[in-house]
Amino acid sequence: MNDCLFCKIAGGTIPANIIYQDDHVVAFDDINPQAPHHKIIIPRKHIPTLNDVQAEDETLVGHMAHTASILARQLNIAEPGYRLVMNCNAGAGQTVFHIHFHLLGGRRMSWPPG
């Protein structure tokens, strides 16, 4: 997508503090962190919302989750605990319409989240 912020970050045309990338996903610091560690994990493939995930994307979404667990261990938040969030559509708080996980940790999380 030509106007997608996350596609531009994945493509390198918009700078971000990238902490991990491979052929399928990119992870970077959230620009408005809600926890001491707040990372965004995106697929390189543009998928607007969770509702748009197709059967052929199952492996990709699984890879995103696996990447989150690897990053949580690297950030030393795996054992104390972390939150992995994916919002779907505006009513749930999605503001960039390219699926992404928020990896949050480094503080105690409350429930319900909001």
Q: Which residues are catalytic?
A: 100
Please give the helix or strand (H or E) that residue 37 lies within, else none.
strand 37-43
Supply 60's token pair. 């990709």
Are the CB atoms for 19 and 31 separated by under 8 Å? no
Tokens found for residue 87: 């919002």
Both tokens of 23, joined, read 């052929």
